[in-house]
A and B are shown apart, each in its own frame.
Chain A
Amino acid sequence: MTLKRNNPPPIFGVDGVEYIEPIRFTLKNGVELFTMQSGDQEVVKIDFSFKAGSWYAQSRLDSIMAALMLQEGTKTLKASEIANTFDFYGAQFSSSSSYDYNYITLLSLKKYLHHLLPLVSEIIRDSSFPEEEFEIVRQKRKQRAIVDSGRVGLIAQKSFLRNLFGEGHPYAPVASPAFFDTILLRDVKLHYDNFYRSDNMTITASGFIDTEVIQLITENFSSSWGNSDTAERGNNHRLPIADKMVFIEKEGANQNAVAIGKLFPTQNHPDFPGIKLLCTILGGYFGSRLMSNIREDKGYTYSIQASPISFLHHGVFLIFAEVKTDKTEATVKEIFLEMEKLNSELITEKELIPIQNYLLGRILEDFDGPFARAQTFSSLREVNMDFEYYNRLIDAIKTTTPQEIRELSQKYLAPETMSTIIAGIR
């Protein structure tokens, strides 16, 4: 039998995503522990999350500096002793900060957990914030910020957020590396004291989870610590009227960075699943309209994307690309033409069906293996949602009609509502 290469093999649809819910435990101190067991490699990943992101910071860099200082010393251990223990057992420890949450993650072979969890516990409760280490971390981050300030892509993305939220808003990145000089150790320590408390923490453990692992977590994290009288921060920031056009000069740029977008609904909004589909059509996958037009047809850029980004309190829509400098204007024009096309024309079945299948495949990936499932679960839980969101998303992907897609586009992608940021040369 000769192979008929012109005939594609049959296509099997993605059906039945298995939502395996985590097992939930409540520790004696009220901390919730979620576990996702699976896999035969004896590897465990434990995530600790705290409502302690930049949203909660008195001064904007306090939250990130607090996260970075955690492994720099405790009441009984020096930074070098902490580093040596994690390294010796081949564990990966990270402490990071985001817009709404701060995180601690430990990735370790199961057999070393009993050496490592007491250390993680001490770091979370009894960090000492030594002055000398603080200056090293400050200098390190400042240097990095100075290097980043030479990159048009980051310049454009940061000023995009500042334009939408206003200088000083907790979601707006700081404007200058010099801001690092203004951070005070006592504010950073205060941020830690206020937010790294047991009643502000959630634990998610995934991978090779057995009773022994659960026992170890329980032993090390069941007592209470921290003062629990810190008030929740309400959303009383007033947002500015964003400029429609911002240009930031960067002498000698070889490419210009273009960021176009606006404030957008958050993930819990009923329209969000449809918006996700809409943004995918425009710029959410390799064959998207923006990629097809601006990269594959015109060759103005290496890559262009459109995405809805959801924080806890606000969402944003962002189209981003780094483009040939003399094609900046042409690129901006094409981006707006693509939005107008979505607002006026109906998408064909031929274009829509592969996008539906592509998105269903990505959903399957969100549940592929214990680490992915735990990540999916946690990111929903952080915005007060659960796996039910995926039912709505799958429904939106499968049933949103071309008419409804056009209506969503008219509602959310009106060109006159967008702000355009360009960083580079004129």
Chain B
Amino acid sequence: MIQFEKTILANGLRVIVHTDRSTPFVAVNVCYNVGAKHEDSSRTGFAHLFEHLTFGGSKHVPDFDTPIQNVGGTNNAFTTNDITNYYITVPANNIETALWLESDRMVGPKFTKKGLEIQRKVVIEEFRQRNLNKPYGDTWHLLRDLSYKVHPYRWPTIGLTPEHIEQATLEEVKDFFFHHYAPNNAILVITGNIAPDHAFRLAEKWFSDIPEREIKNLQIFPEPVQTEGRELTVHRDVPIDTFYVAWHMSSRLDEDFYAADLLSDILSGGNSSRVEERLVKGQKLFAEADVFLSGENDPGLFIATGKLNEGVDFESGRQALIEEVLKTAEAQVTPHELEKVKNKVEAEQVFNEIGYLEKAMQLASYEILGDAGQINQQADHYRNVTADNILKVASGILCSDNCNLLNYLSLKK
């Protein structure tokens, strides 16, 4: 159980505070309701590029890093398809430095030509390092593009291509800021060694003078129901053949999500899971295999993948994994399996309630979904799932018409 208090400032900023006296630190976490899904399809990678740009200094702060180092803190940020999240951790008595910086980031970044030029280069190097220079690095580009035809989950946060980032102009950058970065489109979470009323007073002091702004989001069209299976085969300079099978599933808030999550655990969470026991160890088809959820807020993907062992025929290996997954649409999982994955989820939730920063991020992500209080409801959602729920969800998701198959083959063969 995570206790927290919440208030909303006059400008629309939601402020959430959780006190944890076991640490000498506080976390200041600001989560903006803007991610790659809010991008124009001809300007992808923008939310992430923008995250980089905001570290170049803001209206009244020449550079972000020195003040944080000066108070013994650390800071970083990440962008997903749904959100952009910034965080600072500082020894508790230096919380005002963190609030000064995060509030000024919201007032407005320092937009300069040179800053944009450099960060464009840095992000393109990040693109190369993560997606082009690494074996299998373009997997998500291919899989998303295959699985989504309409919804902006079609591209990963780094963007569709480095060209979109190369072409970003200063005008577009400014425009992006004023349409998305605003107190009424953000959540401030403060966790750690601080009392709620003190935290609220300081939040008011640093954030209340930032004006509400008009948020202009492009309309996000839902992905139409897929009516025909799709298949894509690519050949790359990689050592081992692999494949991905992706089925469309529910959104994060749907009750079906919990059943799907437990199902993926039954299939491949841990060494005693079905895939590990039957296909990796039993039939020795795979060196590694995994079944997991893409885990986004809007309707996401239920994914199965495996790297085949040397000498295993590609088609039959792939078929074996697909069949193992499909079995769950035909017969109920056993009571033992269900109890096992529920215990696992329960333990993981307790493990996750230990770090003050992790708690801040989780509170923010549930508030983005509509209600931070959901953090304390999750255990119940999981506990209530029945074997019948899982069977129903599995047979709903795992149809061939709803299936996207990516064959990722080694050039050497």
Residues of A within 8 A of B (CB): 2-3, 5-6, 8-14, 38-43, 71, 79-80, 82-84, 86-92, 107-109, 133, 136, 139-140, 143-144, 146-147, 149-152, 252-255, 285-287, 295-303, 322-324, 353-355, 357-358, 360-362, 364-365, 368-369, 371
Contact = CB atoms under 8 A, between A and B. Distances in A.
B287 A140 contact: yes
B120 interface: yes
A302 B129 contact: yes
Contacts of B350: 41-43, 109
B275 to A, nearest CB: 12
A364 B118 contact: no
Interface stretch (B31-39, B64-72, B173-181, B291-299): B64-72
Contact of A12 (B93, B107, B284, B339): B93
A107 B22 contact: no
Nearest to B354: A41
Nearest to A292: B65
Interface string B82-99: 000000001101101101
25 contacts: A5-B59, A5-B103, A5-B104, A8-B61, A11-B97, A39-B22, A41-B353, A43-B350, A83-B276, A88-B272, A90-B343, A90-B345, A139-B284, A143-B309, A147-B136, A147-B238, A151-B135, A255-B128, A255-B132, A324-B125, A358-B72, A361-B91, A364-B25, A368-B23, A369-B355
Given A3-B206, A80-B277, A368 B271 contact: no
Chain B interface residue number, banded:
35 or more
A321 to B, nearest CB: 10
A93 B345 CA distance: 15
A136 B347 contact: no
Given A255-B125, A295-B122, A302-B125, A368 B280 contact: no
A83 B272 contact: yes
A108 B74 contact: no
A-B interface, 4 closest residue pairs, ranked by CB to CB distance from nearest: A361-B72, A299-B121, A90-B347, A83-B271
Given A5-B107, A150-B135, A324-B128, A285 B69 contact: yes
A136 B272 contact: no
B268 to A, nearest CB: 11
B240 A357 contact: no
A79 B280 CA distance: 13
A87 to B, nearest CB: 4
Contacts of B135: 147, 150-151
B141 interface: no
A71 B310 CA distance: 24
A111 to B, nearest CB: 10
Given A143-B288, A144-B287, A357-B70, A86 B281 contact: no
Given A324-B128, A357-B72, A369 B22 contact: yes
B323 interface: no
Nearest to A85: B272
A323 B125 contact: yes
Interface string B119-133: 111100110110011
A79 B24 CA distance: 42
Interface in B109-168: 117-122, 125-126, 128-129, 132-136
Nearest to A353: B70
Given A12-B94, A255-B128, A302-B122, A87 B24 contact: no
